[in-house]
Amino acid sequence: MKKRVLITGAAGFIGSHLCDRFLAEGFHVIGMDNLLTGSLDNIAHLFPREDFDFYHHDVTKFVHVPGNIDYILHFASPASPIDYLEMPIQTLKVGALGTHNLLGMARAKGARMLVASTSEVYGDPLVHPQVEEYWGNVNPVGPRGVYDEAKRFLEAITMAYHTFHGVETRIVRIFNTYGPRMRVEDGRVLPAFFSQAIRGEGLTVFGDGTQTRSFCYVDDLVDGIYKLLMSDYSQPVNIGNPQEITMLEFASEILALVGNPKAHLVFRDLPVDDPKQRKPDITKARKILGWEPKYTRKEGLKKTYDYFKKVVKTD
């Protein structure tokens, strides 16, 4: 009998890549998504497979999957600023009610559950690079608070189920990730830069462009998640690429890669509560999981550009 894994947010960017990985590892994969921000295009290639099932379901409602479940990976959530500013209630509910429902299922079925947290739990950090012991600098009533606090609650209730009910849990804190299957109109910096450059528009740089991010290619992230799930470590672990870059430098790399002479830089005011720095300390991932990113940014951006060339409409 194949081991069975439930992946929520399966039609999303990261969720769909997780489905691919677990199928490659020999699991029977049950994907679940309400398609609020996910797309069936991301998993259309999986539907002919006998070892893949899909449930069109909202995890904030009661979740039922018949039969045994060995692992649950909770990746359902709006994840871009555009999404969670437009859907603040749904974002809070999937972090709170959705996590609660899935932890209940994990407890009932004796499954190990990994939850997707985020570097956003650190807010606009006063510690750099960010270590897992840092508690964060978050504005709970600011525009980003619905996502930040949903994920902080997700961590808290996950740890409560672990300590009080003995549920096997894992917590991954995901830093900026990129790769094929990102939504063009996602609102995050990489899809925005690529789509603007391909169309020959202005690349929107917020503030003076000195704020930093650290970009991890999706295959590296998925490998870290898989290793964390299979580990014995229940405290949060940062998974990301510690190669830090300013937004101005990043925009220049995209311009050089795309090579559209019409593309140029446009500067806009910095959004409210936008973090000035993002860089993971991945000491724990290296030591506990034996994991670190393998893809250089140059390699990852080339693969991602090949995808965006196909999906960005230039009419």
> Active-site residues: which are they?
147
| Paired residues of 170 in beta bridges | 114
CA 257 remoteness from chain centre: 24
H or E element at residue 161: helix 145-165
How many other C-beta atoms can be found within 10 angstroms of the C-beta atom of residue 83? Answer: 20
Tokens linked to 262 = 């019409």
Our separate counts of H helices and E strands in the chain read 10, 13
Contacts 24+ apart (CB under 8 A), 307-313: 307/179, 307/180, 307/181, 307/182, 308/184, 308/191, 308/194, 308/195, 308/198, 309/198, 311/184, 312/184, 312/194, 312/195, 312/198, 312/199
Between CA 78 and CA 90 the distance in angstroms is 8
Q: Could you tell me the maximum CA-CA distance found in the chain, to the nearest angstrom?
A: 59
